[in-house]
Structure 1
């Protein structure tokens, strides 16, 4: 029965019962007596309560669907509303679930294209920084050294200072190029790339320690890149925003060897009630591309921030080592 039919039938039943009572045992005098007024008011109240209860039961699936619509988030796939019964509400629920599936698939496809283009642009910029600007600065260093060997002592000191500044700029450009294009990931694998990240972010103010469990299941290149980028973004957030002094990075197998888990935890101030920024949303989009699960929240005891990424090997085409 349609929603319109159910509501009409509920109200019709209430009205028929009321008319039957008036034509049967209930009578009304003119002027109305106190007892008759009490009976009528009591009957009206009972009919209103019955009508409200029946409508509440009949419209409960619509309320559940409304809550599901209000809380739907494409970056956080959740359980779909259960389709119960038949009629318009069941059809609407099924249509909503189909729409969510389509939107998530379209978002994953578009995000994959965007991230692929982003990685390609990162590689291009890194190559130009290394090949063009890096070679130019190297030539400048050689020219400064050549000039410093042939000038008087007062000018030589200034040229040596210019050499150090140029060398520091060259090192910074190379560091930026390594962040843009993780060559160590392609050449030496995920283990070495994560250890290199930990060393790169370790400073006098921030200590980063990498703990990697031996014998991790093998993952595909896309999954390894997602793990690397999530670890990189987590360390960047810890260094820039958390005020942490220590960060722990763990790579460990999932229970049963089903995949690889990444855990990045710090002892900083935590994210609290702050809204998620572009960095965390980018991590969620990357996780969705490979069907991984990303959890971002407070660390043990409610202190700091803890980022967990679980990548299942069978979703990435990996095989156990």
Structure 2
């Protein structure tokens, strides 16, 4: 029964009963007798109480819908309001859930297109850095060597310094190109790419211990790229924001799925600071392959707390899923990433 008819029928029954009593055994004298006052007040109180109960029960689903609308986050899809209550309320909640279905599907499609375009642009920039800027610096380096061989003794030290600066710039260009588009991922596979990534961060002041299991289920190119990018972003966050000196990178089968874990011993994520662009970017990537991304306070092998765990559970499917679920667990105090 709709909320309108519930209230109308209740009020109609109350008024009919009151009219029947006034036409029958109940009378109102002049002046009014104390017993008549009690009867009228008791009837009024009963009518108001029942009206309040009906409205409270009928409008409770709207309150739950409001809270669900306030808490909704398209980066954590799958949460829906419970369909309950009168016809109008149930219809409104059903429409809201259908709207969320459309928004999540559209967001997943738009995110897939945006991230695909981003990867193409990364590939193009990496190729130009390697082929154009890298070759130019290599030619400059060779020219400096030829000049240094013929230069007077008092200029050779300065030319040597110029060579070292050019060589350092060339190495940096190559490092940037590898980070933009990891060629080792295309050539040697995910495990070798992650091992190279761990070694790269280890040489930059962060000790990264890796446990990369062989015998992983077959993964699509999209899934491998997402796993690599999430590991890369997680280690970047660790190096920049966590204050950690140790990190752990794990990749292992988990039934029919593949689990990636990046754990550090830093200050952790601030519960009140919100998520930074790094974690939101990881959630966007997780949406593309139907993966479950969990960010939580960390714990080392001995069980003591500290740091941050970033866990990605990806399905070993032939094709990427169209929907995803990303959850977040309570985090330890610290700075946002």
TM-score by length of 2: 0.87
Evaluate the alpha carbon distance shift between residue 142 and residue 91 of structure 1 in structure 2; reply closer, same or farther with a 3 A threshold: same
Evaluate the alpha carbon distance shift between residue 18 and residue 196 of structure 1 in structure 2; reply closer, same or farther with a 3 A threshold: farther
- SS in structure 1 of the partner of residue 173 of structure 2: helix
- SS in structure 2 of the partner of residue 149 of structure 1: helix
Evaluate the alpha carbon distance shift between residue 27 and residue 245 of structure 1 in structure 2; reply closer, same or farther with a 3 A threshold: farther
1:14, 1:51 within 8 Å by CA — same for their partners in 2? no
Aligned to 2:310: 307
**Correspondence list, 1:8-157, <5 A:** 8-84=8-84, 87-157=87-157
Evaluate the alpha carbon distance shift between residue 162 and residue 74 of structure 1 in structure 2; reply closer, same or farther with a 3 A threshold: same
Alpha-carbon offset, residue 235 of structure 1: 0.5
For residues 292-320 of structure 1, give each alpha carbon's deviation from its aligned partner in whole angstroms, at most 9, with x where no partner exists: 111112112552111111001136479xx
Structure 1 position 267 matched with structure 2 position 227: no
Aligned to 1:289: 288
Aligned to 2:324: none
Aligned to 2:332: none
For residues 179-223 of structure 1, give each alpha carbon's deviation from its aligned partner in whole angstroms, at most 9, with x where no partner exists: 000111111111001111111111463211111122111111000
Evaluate the alpha carbon distance shift between residue 60 and residue 147 of structure 1 in structure 2; reply closer, same or farther with a 3 A threshold: same
1:291, 1:315 within 8 Å by CA — same for their partners in 2? no
Evaluate the alpha carbon distance shift between residue 19 and residue 236 of structure 1 in structure 2; reply closer, same or farther with a 3 A threshold: farther
- SS in structure 1 of the partner of residue 261 of structure 2: strand
Distance (whole Å) between structure 1 residues aligned to residue 179 and residue 5 of structure 2 = 63
1:219, 1:317 within 8 Å by CA — same for their partners in 2? no
Distance (whole Å) between structure 1 residues aligned to residue 140 and residue 226 of structure 2 = 37
Aligned to 1:298: 297
Evaluate the alpha carbon distance shift between residue 47 and residue 139 of structure 1 in structure 2; reply closer, same or farther with a 3 A threshold: same
1:206, 1:246 within 8 Å by CA — same for their partners in 2? yes
Evaluate the alpha carbon distance shift between residue 58 and residue 23 of structure 1 in structure 2; reply closer, same or farther with a 3 A threshold: farther
For residues 150-180 of structure 1, give each alpha carbon's deviation from its aligned partner in whole angstroms, at most 9, with x where no partner exists: 1122211011011111111111110000000
Unmatched 5+ stretches in structure 1:
none
2:65, 2:93 within 8 Å by CA — same for their partners in 1? yes
Distance (whole Å) between structure 2 residues aligned to residue 222 and residue 86 of structure 1 = 45
Unmatched 5+ stretches in structure 2:
322-337
Alpha-carbon offset, residue 32 of structure 1: 3.4
Evaluate the alpha carbon distance shift between residue 172 and residue 23 of structure 1 in structure 2; reply closer, same or farther with a 3 A threshold: farther
Structure 1 position 179 matched with structure 2 position 179: yes
TM-score by length of 1: 0.91
Evaluate the alpha carbon distance shift between residue 25 and residue 68 of structure 1 in structure 2; reply closer, same or farther with a 3 A threshold: farther
Q: Pick which of 88-97 and 179-188 moved more.
A: 88-97
Alpha-carbon offset, residue 91 of structure 1: 2.1
- SS in structure 1 of the partner of residue 317 of structure 2: helix
